[in-house]
Each structure stands twice: as structure tokens, then as C-alpha cells.
Amino acid sequence: MSQFPFEPKTMTTLPIVGTKARFPVNRVYCVGRNYADHAIEMGHDPNREDPFFFQKNASNLDISGEFPYPKKTSDVHHEAELAVLLKSGGENITVEQALDHVYGYAPSLDMTRRDIQAQQKKLGRPWEISKAFERSAPIGSVHPATEVGHFTKGRILLKVNGMVRQDGDLDQLIWKVPELISYLSEYFELVGGDVILTGTPAGVSSVQKGDELEVEIEGLNTLTTKVI
């Protein structure tokens, strides 16, 4: 007999390029408005202010290649993002030490019920129902930093049915990857398995059933997701 009164859900794990080992996911932190041009398109001040974060659930990460159009919304947006995956963590990590904790990188999507998010913002309420729903974070294979290095620049593109909708560069990140890790570690104890979605460039737009989304980040395999 199991020690549990019912079968526990299995841990979310992600495929890693070049090995059969899998990346075990702990928490998923997401950064808001981390590219100036996206902050402007959402009606906010692009000047550097402290970063802010929300979370998705580990089980929201999805590697199936399909994104089921969610309930209770008629305006779902794509947000193409670089995901940073940690192999270790701690508290009060310095910017200088931050990259030592990075296992690797993956292309990802922060899918968003934009209509619900707008209501929640107006009411000053948390964003979870607009952000942390089932399969809301399609993600590609993990590329170890030992293979691909660290990213300070590189094109990040999102295509819908082959048409470019988001076209940015990682050098436009307002808060860079080491700074994000350091900042988060002042508020949370980071651990190996934590994932950070680093924000999206301008060009977010609605998706429809049948759309094929591609996230292309220079140096990583393309993430392809079909909206079903």
C-alpha cells in the first residue's frame, strides 16, 4: 500500500538536450514588463524601476507541443520568453555569483488571459487566474549552459503561422538574468529546479485555435506549439 491516501501527482520534469536525464521543476517565477518596448505597448513607464514577479505552477509547464485554448476568456495572448533554469540556489545571491547557479536555458511561452488580466489589474487583484492556468507555460527542451553558454544578447522571435509578431533581442532585457536571480534571492530561497521566465518583448497579440506558435531564440532549438 502506498503511504498516500491517493496517488500523488508526479513531479514535472523537462527534457534536456543531449542526455536522457530530465530537469526536475520546483517553482516557476515570471518577470513582468522586462522589455521597455513591451512596457510601453502595455501603457507603462519603460524606465527602470524594481522588477516585479508573479508565479506559475510547476505543473503549468507543458512540453506536449499543444496549447488547449483555455476556458473563461476570449483574448489569450502569446508572450515569448527566455526561461532560465537553476541547478542550485540560496538566499542573497550576488549578481557576480548568480550565473554559477544556472543549469541552462529554454524557449518558453507565458500564455495569458489578457482580458482577465486587465480586469484583475483594474481591481488591484492577483493575476493567477489570468496567468497560472493549466498548460499556460509551453516550454521547449533545456539546453545546458555547459553547451550553449550564457545569454547576454541574441534574437528572440515569436512567429504565428510563420509571420513574425514579436522580434526582440535579449540585450533589451531591462533586468538582466544575473540581476533577476540576485533580486529574487533577496525575497525567496532559490533552489535547484527553479525556473525563471524573463519577460517578453513587444508584439504580444491574440491567438486563435489552429494557430502555430514558434519561439525562436538564437542558440536554442525552436519551441513549436499548436493552439487547439
The alpha carbons of the chain give a radius of gyration, in whole angstroms, of 17
Q: Between 101 and 131, whose beta carbon lies closer to Mn ion?
A: 131
Name the segment binding Mn ion (CB under 5 A); options: 53-61, 97-105, 106-114, 134-142: 106-114
Q: Between 137 and 142, whose beta carbon lies closer to Mn ion?
A: 137
Which of left, alpha, beta for 59 (phi over 0: left; psi -120 to 50: alpha)?
alpha
Q: Between 16 and 85, whose beta carbon lies closer to Mn ion?
A: 85
Does the protein bind Mn ion through residue 216 (CB under 5 A)?
no
Does the protein bind Mn ion through residue 79 (CB under 5 A)?
yes
Q: Between 16 and 194, whose beta carbon lies closer to Mn ion?
A: 194
174 within 8 A of 48, measured Cβ to Cβ: yes
Binders in 195-214 for Mn ion, by CB under 5 A: 200
Residue 41 phi, psi dihedral angles, 5° rounding: -65, -25
Smallest gap from Cβ 39 to Mn ion, in A, equals: 11
Q: How far apart are CA 120 and CA 3, in angstroms?
A: 40
Smallest gap from Cβ 212 to Mn ion, in A, equals: 20
Considering only 12, 27, 28, 110, the residue that binds Mn ion (CB under 5 A) is 110
In DSSP terms, 16 is beta-bridged to 142
Q: How far apart are CA 43 and CA 28, in angstroms?
A: 26
Number of residues that bind Mn ion (CB under 5 A): 3
CB neighbour list of residue 124: distance below 8 Å, 6 or more residues apart: none
- Nearest of 39, 55, 28 to residue 168 by alpha carbon: 39
Name the segment binding Mn ion (CB under 5 A); options: 53-61, 103-111, 113-121, 170-178: 103-111
Q: How are beta strands 28-31 and 195-197 bridged, if at all?
A: parallel
Smallest gap from Cβ 79 to Mn ion, in A, equals: 4
- Give residue number: closest CB to Mn ion: 110
Binding residues for Mn ion, rule: CB under 5 A, are 79, 110, 200
